[in-house]
Amino acid sequence: MAAVSLCDVSCVFRSAGKSVHAVANVSLDVQGGEFFTLLGPSGSGKTTCLRMIGGFTLPSSGSIFIDGAEVSQHPPYLRPVNTVFQDYALFPHMSILDNVAYSLMVRGVDRSTRERRAMTLLEMVQLPEVAQRKPAQLSGGQRQRIALARALISEPKVLLLDEPLGALDLKLREQMQGELKSLQRKLGITFIFVTHDQHEALSMSDRIGVFNKGRLEQIATPADLYNRPATRFVAEFVGTANVLQSQHVPGSARNGAVMIRPEQIRLELGTPASEGTPARVLGVVRDVQFFGSFWRVSVQCPQAGEPLLVDVPVNTALRAPQSGDAAQLFWDDAAAHPIEDAAVRALPA
């Protein structure tokens, strides 16, 4: 049995006499103990889906099941879930210990029991020493951990996380990604995580559902999503992609669009030699960006019909490419992955 199931769920908001479709006909299953991420740009429908699972927004149609029970019209407090929001929503006047224990206090659990369980959660998130502090005395990363502890103390079947790392700086965000995944594995609780950040999604998730214009375009593991995207949107949103029509790919036997990742293309500078394997396409370096471990090179390729991006490792013998250099591009047949190139139909406004 899936921990969470959405069956043909839609959400329509009505404002000033108009109907706005936020989510259309979404179906998905999240397995027990899975770290499942809803990924997409702003306005794609991912947060609305999370809010429907949590009970903060009711679906216009379709069914939502949590732990086998139909909960589509249930309020949040009747669902076995808890939510961690981006702003953490800690009570500023309460101590950290009381913040973590708050839901148990509301349920009438005696003080000694709730404080003991709160300290256990603080130890789990490695912050027992801050129990008597106030939220304002903590760093952003510490407040994020406290919000997690507070959400976990009621032992939910499913933990919903609405971009909880969005307010952190890059270094701390990367650190918290590892800690969050480690905590989820330790607890074995189902996590449903919302983000617009592809790197967060790829680094933490067991599976990812990619949203675009209110529709679910693809569900896959991070590796499959990156290496075998189903559509052009997924290819370009998850990582960097060169998307070409097959007629512009020399030697291609496929029809339609194909995707080639920049790191799967090999670049050689200079004009072709009279011997050796001929290049797939020839071009001229237009722009070079330095990313520490690699150069991202934009090559203008008349054969391809548009510039191609190539990632060149800096530890190769190749000198740094420069604008105006003649370039030869090589790739294996397997690097060109076929994708669906049709534009996603926009939802009615």
The 10s digit of each residue's pLDDT in 330-349 is 999 889 898 887 544 434 43
244 and 177 in a single domain? The answer is: no
Condensed to tens digits (0 to 9), the pLDDT of residues 201-215 reads 999 999 999 999 999
Pairwise CA distance, residues 97 & 127, whole Å: 10
- Mean of pLDDT values over 22-45: 95
Q: Let me know if residue 344 belongs to a domain.
A: no
103 and 226 in a single domain? The answer is: yes
Instruction: Identify the domain boundary among 231, 264, 285.
Output: 231
Domain range for 257: 240-339
144 phi and psi angles, rounded to 5 deg: -65, -40
Structurally, the chain folds into a number of domains equal to 2
Reported pTM: 0.87
Between 91 and 275, whose confidence is greater? 91
Dump strand ranges (E) for the chain.
Answer: 4-15, 18-30, 35-39, 61-66, 69-70, 81-84, 158-162, 190-195, 207-212, 215-220, 242-245, 257-260, 266-269, 281-290, 294-300, 308-313, 326-330, 337-339
Pairwise CA distance, residues 81 & 30, whole Å: 13
DSSP 153-173: TT--SEEEEESTTTTS-HHHH
Confidence grade of residue 303 (pLDDT, cut at 50, 70, 90): confident
Q: Let me know if residue 304 belongs to a domain.
A: yes
Give the chain's radius of gyration (CA, Å).
24
Task: Kindly tell me if the per-residue pLDDT of 266 is higher than 90.
Answer: yes
Q: Let me know if residue 276 belongs to a domain.
A: yes
Q: Provide the CB-side half-sphere exposure for 257 (13 A, CA).
A: 18
Nearest Cα residue to 266 out of 320, 236, 302, 311? 311
Pairwise CA distance, residues 44 & 37, whole Å: 14
User: Do 330 and 280 meet the contact criterion of CB atoms below 8 Å apart?
Assistant: yes
Q: Let me know if residue 346 belongs to a domain.
A: no
Nearest Cα residue to 70 out of 154, 22, 9? 9
245 and 132 in a single domain? The answer is: no
- pLDDT value, residue 112: 92
Nearest 5 degrees, angle CA 67-CA 70-CA 71?
A: 95
User: What is the average pLDDT value for the chain, to the nearest integer?
Assistant: 88
- Give me the amino acid identity at 218: Q
- pLDDT value, residue 145: 86
Pairwise CA distance, residues 81 & 202, whole Å: 24
Tell me the CATH number at 200. Answer: 3.40.50.300
- pLDDT value, residue 131: 92
Longest distance between any two alpha carbons in the chain, whole Å: 84
Contacts of residue 39, Cβ cutoff 8 Å, sequence gap at least 6: 46, 195, 196, 198, 201, 208, 209, 210, 211, 237, 238
Helix residue spans in the chain (DSSP H): 46-54, 96-106, 111-124, 140-152, 170-187, 198-204, 222-227, 232-237
- pLDDT value, residue 276: 64
- Mean of pLDDT values over 92-116: 92
Instruction: Identify the domain boundary among 231, 266, 284.
Output: 231
- pLDDT value, residue 344: 43
Condensed to tens digits (0 to 9), the pLDDT of residues 115-160 reads 999 999 999 888 899 999 999 999 888 888 898 889 889 889 999 9
- Mean of pLDDT values over 104-123: 92
Highest mean pLDDT among 236-250, 289-303, 308-322: 289-303
- pLDDT value, residue 274: 63
- pLDDT value, residue 346: 39
175 and 297 in a single domain? The answer is: no
145 and 191 in a single domain? The answer is: yes
- pLDDT value, residue 251: 58
Condensed to tens digits (0 to 9), the pLDDT of residues 291-300 reads 999 999 999 9
Tell me the CATH number at 272. Answer: 2.40.50.100
Between 256 and 219, whose confidence is greater? 219
